Structure 1
Amino acid sequence: MESRRTKLGAQGLEVSALGLGCMGLSAFYGTPTSDDAGIVLIHHAFNSGVTFFDTADIYGLFTNEILVGKALKDLPREKVQLATKFGNVPGKGTTVNGTPEYARKACESSLERLGVDYIDLYYQHRVDAQVPIEETMGELKRLVLEGKIKYIGLSEASADTIRRAHAVHPITAVQLEWSLWTRDVEAEIIPTCRELGIGIVPYSPLGRGFFSGKAIVEKLQSNDSRLVRQPRFQGENFEKNKVLYERVAALASKHGCTTSQLALAWVLAQGKDVVPIPGTTKVANFDENLGSLNLKLSKAEIDEIAAAVPEEEVAGTRYPEELLKRTWMFVDTPPPKA
């Protein structure tokens, strides 16, 4: 089955119009799925036309890359667009490392775990506030020249960092949190990406599953990290945010679709350079998400959906304070050494 394709960035990378975020198969959202179930999901996604798979070394402390690698062994490598990330040091809490030496070591370790000869899109997962971005990019550029990675990406980078990195080597994609309830990137980050011809890859396009459906809104597993790591899912914040969910659910009913399909369609409607990577552990949920590609929204409908979730009414920050301090809102790298 063929799915819609889109060009990501200006360097030639072409991906499926919707990607699959694989993190939740191994970490954070309750009990990890088995390798067998994860492989079934990834194979089903590929056979449904989704060929863009996203992982990172820190997900499940390396286990997610291993799982994705197992799944890829049975797929034609040339038809898969594989993205992974480095920078958040696995097992070291909130430690970020953007040194050239670490970037190379992390890349080579990821290649081994994934069982591949090259990574299509390699992101710096978080910006290292102690290392000039020019130094990190210089090493990533060398990895491109060596054929170990094809394209370079940044995640949670400020507009200034994006510009400085892009001057060293073209950035193909910026991964950022963008959804109905996280829209602060629209002021500066999105325009910067578009000015430079950089593709946009929204993670958590369903608000970390908040807009996935009543099962999420009504009950999370006790070991789900959202209960302790996500202020919007906690206490009074969660109760206030349920009002926003109900508004979106009402609009979804009006459009004859599910809340997840409407929320994803809204993100997709932001531009042809936008490729969301929703995650799930279930084939049925994947199929539901895929249905968002068939939902066409007018400008008035796009505005109506956004108006249902006013930024000022969203209760709670998208990360707790210690994690928020590592995002584009707070981190820039020092200038290059003289």
Structure 2
Amino acid sequence: MDHLLYIHIAFCDSKCHYCGFNSYVGRFELKRAYMEALEKQLRHDLDRYEISEGSIETVFIGGGTPSTIDPELYAPLFEIFTPFLKENAEITSEANPQSASETWLRGMKGLGVNRISFGVQSFFDDKLRLLGRAHDAHDARRSVERAAALGFEHLSIDLIYATLPDTPARIEKEVENAFELPIDHISAYELTIEEGTPFQKRPEVRRESEEQAKIVRETILSRGWEQYEISNFGRYLCRHNLGYWEYRPYLGIGSGAVGRLGTERLYPSAEIERYIADPFSKRREGLNEKEIVEEKIFLGLRSIVGIDEKIATPPMKKRLELLRKERLLRYEKGRYFNVDYLLSDEIALFILD
């Protein structure tokens, strides 16, 4: 079976006010030791879980901020996983505009990265300051254009909406600005208030988002792009993202990364020093059949993957058919598909009731 590979870089130049991900500001004295620990875990897990050569379809380097790590420190990882890649594998790295220099981009491309996902978040400087971003709108545009000039095959940006400065007109302008860039993918997320972040003490920074979500969707779709998940749009559909929603098995490498193989979810230590000291240790969470079905339903309804009718119990099948008759779901070739992603969670809860 084909696998996905996720590699987590746990370093950031600064911590954004909304970010609840496992990352560390500074601590750059740990970079080399951390990258060496990634190598150890990667070698161990490829062997431990009997990953066969030619079976990794996608690689995603996320964070944190992968562009804070020099390409030369990534080279040993690429040497380890390259024999396990399928032909024409998709290899993505996230990057921030302020740290994705031409040297860094050129080095990553030389290693084999063929897709860059930029954490742009906004093209308005006042909103970037509110979010705690370290770049401005000019940096964002320049970094994407630089990557395009270097010949990366696929480029994506992230946008955040539902913040205090946002208005319908500004949200529409955000999307218009995005389409001025040489990209083929947009991930657009509403602001969420995460526990333990600076925004937890400032809930007023979030606006209600349903109208803005519709503006984002309609403006992007009017350009002929496809919405293939509630927050993801593209001319190119990210194969790594689709792999998650299709419930493919994946390795999670790094401090705070998560993997899932078979019926087991695997959690390496989220404490960076502990991870460096013992990159092989993982907390294991067993998943029963009911939990797996629930996850497949939630993921399927949020995306173009849909729900395979074979996983539905008889009571679920009755609810699925009721939703189809009400034209809230579409049925095709043994699968049910959501026609309104904004209702995905409500529909999932109804099906699972």
TM-score by length of 1: 0.45
Structure number with higher relative contact order (C-alpha < 8 Å, ≥ 6 residues apart) = 1
Q: Which has the higher strand share?
A: 2
